[in-house]
């Protein structure tokens, strides 16, 4: 499945039974230089729309919301030492967390790349 996007500027990509989540290129541009990322603990159950992480930049702190519900099975520990990965590679090396989705159909309910691009044009 291709990458899907939320209205809160998170992306989700299914890799087998796990969903990888991060923030979009648009979100990292709005934040500016990311200096700190607070990630949830492995094993935490996230509700769809609940706060999943916090990103701090030179401009502001911002919450990252869970675009789907699920249990956190991994976090990107590299962001603790190198938060700039979020700016350099937001949809690859700068991923935030991996969750085991409660309902994979939630991913399908998110926007595809074309719909997200159209959504950005309305902002």
In a domain, 109, yes or no: no
Domain range for 25: 4-102
Asked whether residue 20 is assigned to any structural domain, the reply reads yes
Count of domains forming the chain: 1
Q: For 9-61, how does the pLDDT look when each residue is reduced to its tens digit (9 = 90+)?
A: 999 999 999 999 999 999 999 999 999 999 999 999 999 999 999 999 999 99
Question: Residue 1 pLDDT more than 90?
Answer: no
Other Cβ atoms less than 10 A from the Cβ of 50: the count is 13
Of 39, 42, 12, 37, give the one whose Cα is nearest residue 24.
12
42 domain-assigned: yes
Q: What is the CATH number of the domain that holds 12?
A: 2.40.50.100
């Amino acid at each position: 499945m291709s990458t899907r996007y939320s209205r809160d500027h998170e992306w989700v990509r299914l890799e087998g039974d796990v969903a990888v989540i991060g923030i979009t290129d648009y979100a990292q541009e709005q934040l500016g230089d990311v200096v700190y990322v607070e990630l949830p603990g492995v094993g935490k159950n996230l509700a769809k729309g609940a706060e999943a992480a916090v990103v701090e930049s030179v401009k502001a702190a911002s919450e990252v919301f869970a675009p789907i519900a699920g249990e956190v099975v991994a976090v990107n520990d590299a962001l603790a030492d190198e938060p700039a990965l979020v700016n350099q590679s937001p949809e690859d090396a700068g991923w935030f967390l991996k969750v085991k989705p409660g309902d994979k159909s939630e991913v399908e309910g998110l926007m595809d790349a074309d719909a997200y691009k159209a959504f950005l044009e309305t902002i």
